[in-house]
Amino acid sequence: MHTETDNTQTVLDTLNFALTLEYLESSFYNMAVASGVIPSSDLAIFRQIQQHENAHVAFFRGVLGDKAVREPKFDFTAGGKFDPFHDCPTFMTLSQGFEDTGVRAFKGQAGKLMSNDEVLTAALRIHSVEARHASEVRRLRGLKGWVTGDEANIPAPLKQTGVYAGDSMWPSEGNTVQLGIDVSQFQGADAGSEAFDEPITADHALRIASQFIANG
Amino acid sequence: MADNKKTTATASRAERGDAGSSVNQSGTVHLGSGDVGILNYALALEQLEAEFYTRAVDAKPRGLDADAMSVLDDLRKHETVHREFFFTALGKNAIPRLSFDFSSVDFTSGNSVLETARTIEDLGISAFNGAGQLLTNPDYLAVAGKIVSVEARHAAAIRDLLEPKTASFASDDVVDAKGRDGARLPAEVLPLAAPFIKEKIDASQLPTM
């Protein structure tokens, strides 16, 4: 049904969407590492994450060339709501939120990249790195590395951003029906939800990200 | 939900579409072709993981604290869910239950268990990352994506147990300089899984690049 041009535009749009999320993450960790908010015992972890996010930005910019969107100006206080570069628990919470959002957002784009094996595989390879990050940060916060149900343990302000919620296309992280099969029947509802991460649409991811993009 | 409705209609496709699995008299397991073949390939790997964690949890390895045991038990549950999910989705086209050889693993040693877990989780991630491009049904690609990130969460947790507070959870030996995890094709993955699987797996009908 799609023309070659349509597919190319879809792939370009998807790559620029991914680049926007990577800008957000790389900027967040670059600022956090420079701020001194991260305790030295956790620095090796966040330097590794920082390095990956910067590499992802470079990767997508390289693929997009002059089609790459410019980096937005970020406000990680979200208009004064958060203080992540002075308060470590806030930094960790936002980190978890960004990583889990990245996992969901990349997953939601996979279908749009099926026309291009090379780009699809690169996106999948970055997607699983984001999931490694998410697991590590969650464990640092004393949580399980995987998402149980709709995730009651995230502090309320971040929960309102919709990191674990459903959208027009995909169910919430608590979903336990996969390909029409109720997967809670095998090891219970918690394991059924933990065993599958849920995607989100690009719109949903951008609604979350836009709360941290400065106006004007 | 829209997602569930859409996918219910395609759930039966695995049962009528591509060539299903078969087992010949010499005990060779044929994965089949097309998307069914790829799902059977995933099922073989999930069987391996589920069996491994079931044995690990039963063995109560030495030197593992409550956090480590809780991680292993969660992984046992998740991999069992994945295994049973694929059996159900594939229906009569599913490969049989495989038998396993974990003689290389010392289940009494926490370290041996965690090191094997690290190997099979990293392998599973690269297998799913490499198989995505071989799938034609977007619903199956979506499900593979839903599973691979959970495997990556597992890998990070296991690596964190082995080397806490380090870069090991996503270390440079598995994530390249461009920040990308591994991706392997079935022909690269199966020889690495073969030492653990007693049956011979025939992947010759699987799609290739």
Nearest Cα residue in chain B from A118: B133
ipTM: 0.96
- Residue B186, class by beta-carbon neighbours within 10 Å (0-12 exposed, 13-18 middle, 19+ buried)? buried
For the segment A104-121, the average pLDDT, to the nearest whole number, is: 96
CA-based R_g, chain B, Å: 17
The interface residues of chain B toward chain A in range 84-143, judged by CB-CB distance below 8 A, are 84-85, 88-89, 125, 128-130, 132-133, 138-139, 141-143
Q: How confident is the model at residue A133 (pLDDT cuts 50, 70, 90)?
A: very high
- Cβ atoms < 10 Å from Cβ of A115: 14
pLDDT confidence of residue A158? 73
Q: Which residues in chain B touch residue A41, judged by CB atoms under 8 angstroms apart?
A: 165
Q: Rounded to 5 degrees, what angle do the CA atoms B8, B10, B13 make?
A: 130
Q: Which helix (H) or strand (E) holds A177?
A: strand A177-178
Q: Please answer yes or no on whether A110 and B74 come within 8 Å at the CB atom.
A: no
Task: Please write the tens of the pLDDT for every residue from A12-60.
Answer: 999 999 999 999 999 999 999 999 999 999 999 999 999 999 999 999 9
Q: Please answer yes or no on whether B180 and A170 come within 8 Å at the CB atom.
A: no
Beta-sheet strand order (sheet of B200-202): B22-23, B28-30, B200-202
Q: Which residues in chain B touch residue A194, judged by CB atoms under 8 angstroms apart?
A: 74, 77-78, 150
β-bridge pairing B28-30 and B200-202: parallel
Distance separating alpha carbons of residues B71 and A91, to the nearest angstrom? 25
Q: Please answer yes or no on whether B4 and A197 come within 8 Å at the CB atom.
A: no
- Cβ atoms < 10 Å from Cβ of B64: 19
pLDDT confidence of residue B77? 98
Q: Looking at the partner chain, which of B11, B132, B155 has a beta carbon nearest the beta carbon of A124?
A: B132
**Percent of chain A beyond pLDDT 70?**
96
Q: Looking at the partner chain, which of A117, A128, A168 has a beta carbon nearest the beta carbon of B125?
A: A128
Task: Please write the tens of the pLDDT for every residue from B55-75.
Answer: 999 999 999 999 999 999 999
Nearest Cα residue in chain B from A55: B178
Q: How confident is the model at residue A151 (pLDDT cuts 50, 70, 90)?
A: confident
Q: Are A190 and A174 in contact (CB under 8 A)?
A: no
Q: Looking at the partner chain, which of A51, A125, A145 has a beta carbon nearest the beta carbon of B181?
A: A125
Q: Which residues pair with A213 in a beta bridge?
A: A74
Q: How confident is the model at residue A7 (pLDDT cuts 50, 70, 90)?
A: confident
Closest Cα in chain B, distance from residue A49 (Å)? 8
Closest Cα in chain A, distance from residue B101 (Å)? 25
CA distance to A55, A67, A93, A164, A173, per residue, from A152 (Å): 32, 40, 13, 9, 11
Q: Looking at the partner chain, which of A110, A175, A195 has a beta carbon nearest the beta carbon of B141?
A: A110
CA distance to A124, A170, B182, per residue, from A108 (Å): 11, 9, 20
Q: Which residues in chain B touch residue A44, judged by CB atoms under 8 angstroms apart?
A: 165-167
Q: Looking at the partner chain, which of B125, B147, B156 has a beta carbon nearest the beta carbon of A145?
A: B156
Residue A174 has pLDDT above 60, yes or no: yes
Q: Are A135 and B125 in contact (CB under 8 A)?
A: no
Q: Please answer yes or no on whether B167 and A48 come within 8 Å at the CB atom.
A: yes
pLDDT confidence of residue B8? 38
User: What DSSP string runs through A9-58?
Assistant: HHHHHHHHHHHHHHHHHHHHHHHHHHHT-S-GGGHHHHHHHHHHHHHHHH
Q: Which residues in chain A touch residue B3, judged by CB atoms under 8 angstroms apart?
A: 169-171, 175
Rounded to the nearest 10 degrees, how much is the dihedral formed by the CA atoms of A192, A196, A202, A207? 50
pLDDT confidence of residue A6? 65
Q: Looking at the partner chain, which of A131, A168, A186 has a beta carbon nearest the beta carbon of B153?
A: A131
β-bridge pairing B22-23 and A177-178: unpaired
Lowest mean pLDDT among A87-96, A126-135, A161-170, B3-12: B3-12
Q: Which residues in chain B touch residue A50, judged by CB atoms under 8 angstroms apart?
A: none
Q: Which residues contact B67 (CB under 8 A, 6 or more apart)?
A: B161
Q: Which residues in chain A touch residue B208, judged by CB atoms under 8 angstroms apart?
A: none
Q: How confident is the model at residue A215 (pLDDT cuts 50, 70, 90)?
A: confident
Each residue's pLDDT tens digit in chain B (209 positions)?
334 433 433 444 454 457 777 777 678 999 999 999 999 999 999 999 999 999 999 999 999 999 999 999 999 999 999 999 999 999 999 999 999 999 999 999 999 999 999 999 999 999 999 999 999 999 999 999 999 999 999 999 999 999 999 999 999 999 999 999 999 999 999 999 999 999 999 999 999 97
Q: Please answer yes or no on whether B167 and A44 come within 8 Å at the CB atom.
A: yes
Distance separating alpha carbons of residues B90 and B13, to the nearest angstrom? 9
Q: Please answer yes or no on whether B1 and A171 come within 8 Å at the CB atom.
A: yes
Q: Are A74 and A214 in contact (CB under 8 A)?
A: yes
Tokens 């949580």 correspond to A143
- Mean per-residue pLDDT of chain A: 94
Tell me if residue A156 falls in helix, strand or coil.
helix
Q: Looking at the partner chain, which of B89, B133, B153 has a beta carbon nearest the beta carbon of A117?
A: B133
pLDDT confidence of residue A152? 72
Q: Which residues contact B126 (CB under 8 A, 6 or more apart)?
A: B181, B182, B183, B184, B189
Q: How confident is the model at residue A181 (pLDDT cuts 50, 70, 90)?
A: very high
3-class DSSP string for chain B: CHHHHHHHHHHCHHHHCCCCCEECCCCEEECCCHHHHHHHHHHHHHHHHHHHHHHHHHHCCECCCHHHHHHHHHHHHHHHHHHHHHHHHHHHHCCCCCCECCCCCCCCEHHHHHHHHHHHHHHHHHHHHHHHHHCCCHHHHHHHHHHHHHHHHHHHHHHHHHCCCCHHHHCCCCCCCCCCCCCCCHHHHHHHHHHHECCEEECCCCCCC
Categorise residue B179: left if φ over 0, alpha if ψ from -120 to 50, beta otherwise. Answer: left
Angle at which helices B186-193 and B34-59 cross, to 10°? 30
pLDDT confidence of residue A4? 58
Distance separating alpha carbons of residues A183 and A189, to the nearest angstrom? 8
Pairs of residues, one from chain A and one from chain B, whose beta carbons lie less than 8 Å apart: 210
Q: Is the pTM of this model over 0.90?
A: yes
Q: Are A173 and A150 in contact (CB under 8 A)?
A: yes
